Amino acid sequence: MNKKLLTSLVIFSFLFLGTIYVSAEEEENDLNEVSPAQLMQRKSGVSTTTIPRKPIENEIQRKNTLKEQYQERLEALQNKYQESKAQIQTKTKNIASSTQNRIQNRIATSTKNNIASSTQNRIREQRELVKEKLSAQRKELVEKQNKKAVENFEKVIDRISELKEKIRSRMEDMTEKGFDMTEATTLMDNVQTKIEEARTRIQEMGEALDAVLESENPSDSFQKARELTTPAKEAIRAAHQSLVEVITAIKASIKTRATVGQETTTPAENPENTEEKENTDEGESEDATTTEATN
């Protein structure tokens, strides 16, 4: 707006001073064309033959002075216009430079923000990858632990089954030698039932652990896996306890046979008593082995 106002003032000044200058030029031409006598006659309205020349020279000098003043004002206005134009150009350049700097700063800030955002995204992706990797590792660890637990339980129940067969074979030998194995035989049937029940619980535990592995939270699945081992442990302990009851019944039968044998001979002179003691020792050894395996 300042630029438009200044331009209007300059144009108006040019027109105004131009009008004055043209008027001065016309008057000067008129004075040069008219003789001094005619000039005086025009001004006074009186016809005379003698016209002083000095007033004419003064008028010419006045016109020249006006012309010079006009030139000076015109030059001053031109100089002022040039200065204002230079100031406007400088201001325009400064505004353009400032605008360019702001644009560059915005671009730099935007670029910086984009870089920061990209960096954050990469960090977030890396964290997700690490988290997924850790989850996979934990899941694999839980799977290995579950598999190991199932294998250990199966080994324990297999050991109990082997001890059961050994004790059953010994019971048959002792029955042939006259020992009463009626109670032990009845309890032995219960041992087989408990072993089968324990195997069923172990199988169910394995299936449940496999299902738990599909959980999204390995830590929770590991805790649940530990809880699922309880029924299998209790079934194994029940099978072991039933085998211990068989061994106890065998010991009672041997003790009864030994008491009856004391009426006819001493323990050192009775070969059967010696065999009974060996059977008792072996039964105690098997009992200890079973307890250790279960623990």
Question: Is 122 inside a domain boundary?
Answer: no
Question: Is 220 inside a domain boundary?
Answer: yes
**Residues 53, 166 within the same domain:** no
**Residues 186, 56 within the same domain:** no
Boundaries of domain holding 196: 138-294
Instruction: For residue 47, report the phi and psi dihedrals to the nearest 5 degrees.
Output: -85, 125
Spans of the chain below 70 pLDDT: 1-54, 129-135, 215-225, 260-295
Q: How far, in Å, CA of 151 to CA of 231, rounded? A: 15
What's the structural domain count of the chain? 2
**Residues 87, 177 within the same domain:** no
**Residues 57, 144 within the same domain:** no
**Residues 280, 174 within the same domain:** yes
Q: How far apart are the first and last CA of the chain?
A: 99
Secondary structure E strands in the chain: none
Query: In the prediction, which pLDDT does 158 show?
Result: 94
**Residues 235, 155 within the same domain:** yes
Question: Is 279 inside a domain boundary?
Answer: yes
The answer to whether the beta carbons of residues 85 and 9 sit under 8 Å apart is no
What is residue 265's DSSP assignment? S
Question: Is 6 inside a domain boundary?
Answer: yes
Q: How far, in Å, CA of 280 to CA of 262, rounded? A: 17
Question: Is 238 inside a domain boundary?
Answer: yes
**Residues 230, 144 within the same domain:** yes
The answer to whether the beta carbons of residues 76 and 9 sit under 8 Å apart is no
CB atoms within 10 A of CB 33: 9
Question: Is 57 inside a domain boundary?
Answer: yes
**Residues 101, 156 within the same domain:** no
Question: Is 258 inside a domain boundary?
Answer: yes
**Residues 188, 97 within the same domain:** no
**Residues 74, 211 within the same domain:** no
Q: How far, in Å, CA of 79 to CA of 226, rounded? A: 98
Q: Is 178 left (phi over 0), alpha (psi -120 to 50) or beta?
A: left
Query: In the prediction, which pLDDT does 62 show?
Result: 84
Residue 104 identity (one-letter amino acid) = Q
- Chain-centroid distance, C-alpha 196: 50
**Residues 87, 187 within the same domain:** no
Question: Is 121 inside a domain boundary?
Answer: no
Place of tokens 């406007």: 88
**Residues 185, 259 within the same domain:** yes
